Amino acid sequence: MTDAIHKSRPDRRQVLTGFGAGALLSLAAPNLVRAQPRELVVGGAASHKPWVEQFVTPLFEKKYNAKLTFEGTRSLVNLEKMQKNKDRPYLSVVQMDDPVMILAVRENLLEPLTSAKAANLAKLKPGTVHMDGQWANYLQPWQGVAYNTDVIKTPPASWADAFDPKFKGRIIIPSLQNTEGLANLFMASHLATGKPMAEALRDTEAGFKKLISLKPNLLTVYNQMPQAFSLLEQGEAHMIVGALSSFALQRKLDGAPLGLAAPKEGIFAVPSGIAVVKGAPHQDLAFAYVNELLGAELQAQIAPPTFALPTNVDVAPPPGMPTNVTVHPIDWAFVAENRNAWVQRWDREMSM
């Protein structure tokens, strides 16, 4: 009887075989199961996803043993996600346009950046850290004057060139409903008054009067950028004043007969902001992510494919980007206070 009982019991080898490798791992090394990488969710522009996945994700995941998930959409959609999930946020970092960052600040949705939590904050150019560290700029795509190189052989030297009567019906500008439309209003104020840009951008009365004088030269005012560039590439338009580097220089790289000038009065930085979401999960990882985007190593990699200027002082502008030119920052808090009234006036006075 004893022998029968003994034979009916499985030996240790049979037990181990029955459990399988996965079960053994769980029994023998429970710490390995617990040490799964934490996930950091970042909300940004859909157009950013390729360079984030190529340059940022490999570095970040390896360095911090974390999984990075990038949700690409529009800035206002990211803002809506933050609003709806304010009590239980799932986004940890947002990469949004500066005007939308202001809306997030007003609703207390952001966790301020400090050099203690993101050391590279101290390495940024003046004018790229906003509202006491609520957000910072990790890149500066820029606005200048795009031109058709088949028609204009010498790059425009001044923003004022667009007002020359010889370009009657050949100029395109963005609508003030577009964020990039602000540059022309501020530059028009500067051209009209001669004031330094910091003062001129607050004298929008002079700017509107100057812009009205441009109307005879306008072919169209765009809301949709691709259609405007199609007219420029076909030679119907000769210039797009206030063109974005990220779009114009990509079209040039694709073979379009385009150039992008950085006129003597300077260029405007296009907002590319980054911030930590208030109450976000894994805030240590969130600040680490921000710190990497503000650092020299990543900015040197992502500035060239985005046709942007770096904001870290230790990174030189990529080849083909303007050097020794003034980059005008924009007071986005001032813009937020006045933009609705400006757009209404624009619709009245600049309609075509």
Q: Which of 33-37, 105-109, 226-230, 276-280 is predicted least confidently?
A: 33-37
The pLDDT tens digits for 128-184 are 999 999 999 999 999 999 999 999 999 999 999 999 999 999 999 999 999 899 999
DSSP one-letter string for 226-292 = HHHHHHHHHTS-SEEEEEEHHHHHHHHHTT-SEEEE--TT-EEEPP-EEEEETT-SSHHHHHHHHHH
State the architecture of 142-269+332-349 in CATH terms.
Answer: 3-Layer(aba) Sandwich (3.40)
Tokens of 307: 């046709």
Q: Which of 5-19, 138-152, 204-218 is predicted least confidently?
A: 5-19
**Burial, 16: exposed, middle or buried (Cβ in 10 Å; 0-12, 13-18, 19+)?**
middle
pLDDT band at 35; cut points 50, 70, 90: low
pLDDT value for 351: 82
What type of residue is 50? Answer: P
Domain ranges of the chain: 37-140+271-321, 142-269+332-349
Question: What gap in Å lies between CA 342 and CA 178, rounded to an integer?
Answer: 12
Question: What gap in Å lies between CA 94 and CA 92, rounded to an integer?
Answer: 7
Question: What gap in Å lies between CA 263 and CA 123, rounded to an integer?
Answer: 27
Tokens of 20: 């399988």
Residue 10 reports pLDDT greater than 70: no
- Average pLDDT value over all residues in the chain: 90
What type of residue is 189? Answer: S
Asked whether 123 and 313 are in contact (CB, 8 A), the reply is: yes
Residue 305 reports pLDDT greater than 90: yes
37-140+271-321 CATH, one of 3.40.190.10, 3.20.20.70, 3.40.605.10, 3.40.50.410 = 3.40.190.10
**Burial, 31: exposed, middle or buried (Cβ in 10 Å; 0-12, 13-18, 19+)?**
exposed
The reply to whether 37-140+271-321 and 142-269+332-349 are identical in fold is yes
